[in-house]
Structure 1
Amino acid sequence: MKTKVNEIQISYHGNQTINTTFKIGCSQDAAQLAFEHWDQNHIEMQEHFKILLLNNSNIVKGIYEVSKGGITGTLVDLRILFAVVLKSLSTAIILLHNHPSGTLKPSEADRQLTQKIIKAGELLDVKVLDHLIITPNKEYYSFADQGVL
């Protein structure tokens, strides 16, 4: 008698053709896209952490919300984050999160999380291009622009 186990299938379904999607050339491009796709009703209420998934040409494959937290923080599970990255066959990502307080300065926890994700990405050949902190008043902080990455 055979032992029964579940069969696992992994798939990614994009609904945009590659020619009509957005290409990231700089932090301003990523910030513009983040602001366009952020729920403006919650940007100053609670912290959210998202990833911008990119192909090898820095064309956006999609945006995924990894976590939703409280007023001053949110927890990011790297296993979930990288499950999405791997499932979508993305080669690069940009990290995005908001500070409801409007503060642009990254916290020590923000810096540590960024480094942790970069190290995990290196093991999987996934490049972390930037980490943006966005605020309700449409300002942003780029780790890459500030030389923090």
Structure 2
Amino acid sequence: MNPLMEISVSYTTSNQEKVRITSNKEAYELIIKNWNLDIIEFQEECKVVLMNKGNFVLGIYEVSKGGIDSSVVDIRIILGVALKCHATQLILVHNHPSGNLNPSSSDEKITESLQKACKLLNLSLLDHLIITSSDYYSFNEKNSF
């Protein structure tokens, strides 16, 4: 009889000072410090900022790296990571290598889908930021939520 494989979940913490996000601009400033600026204009990437109820950042998770104008965003992976690290709030972030900050229809669809999925698990999607090296678009600021 073959035993079932065991699934192990782990994450690491550091003794660094806790970062608290209280605005979309602070979220942008945090994420841009943790982005590879050498490729921000060449390759699309997607990350998620994971936070607790007090808006303290638990970590930043790299969801995917894509091509010139797209990357795969798998909602199941985002939610799995959020649950594993006990996050209650999320900010989805991706860059537009073109420099155009306007959301695409795909961006709008993924935001809506992630927002619905988060609601089912009692998580809050606080924002979805589209970034360049010098500016950002916030779905929350533009009342797209």
TM band (smaller chain): over 0.9
Residues of 1 paired with 2:29 and 2:52: CA distance? 18
SS in 2 for 1:89: coil
Whichever residue aligns with residue 15 of structure 1, its letter is S
Match of 2:42 among 19, 40, 45: 45
> RMSD of aligned C-alpha atoms?
1.1
- Cα deviations by residue, 1:71-106 (Å, 9 ceiling, x for unpaired): 111111111111111111100000100000110100
- Cα deviations by residue, 1:16-59 (Å, 9 ceiling, x for unpaired): 36xx2110100000000011000011100010000000001000
Unaligned runs of 5+ residues in structure 2 are none
Count of aligned pairs: 145
| Structure 1 partner of 2:128 | 131
Matched, 1:76 2:73: yes
- Give the alignment of 1:97-108 within 5 angstroms: 97-108=94-105
SS in 1 for 2:42: coil
Q: What's the TM-score, normalizing by structure 1? A: 0.93
Residues of 1 paired with 2:34 and 2:6: CA distance? 35
Residues of 2 paired with 1:30 and 1:21: CA distance? 14
Match of 2:138 among 138, 142, 147: 142
Residues of 2 paired with 1:43 and 1:110: CA distance? 17
Whichever residue aligns with residue 53 of structure 1, its letter is L
Match of 1:118 among 99, 102, 115: 115
| Structure 2 partner of 1:34 | 31
SS in 1 for 2:46: strand
**How far off is 1:8 after superposition?**
2.0
Residues of 2 paired with 1:14 and 1:131: CA distance? 25
**How far off is 1:3 after superposition?**
4.3
Q: What's the TM-score, normalizing by structure 2? A: 0.96
SS in 2 for 1:95: strand
4+ runs deviating over 6 angstroms: none
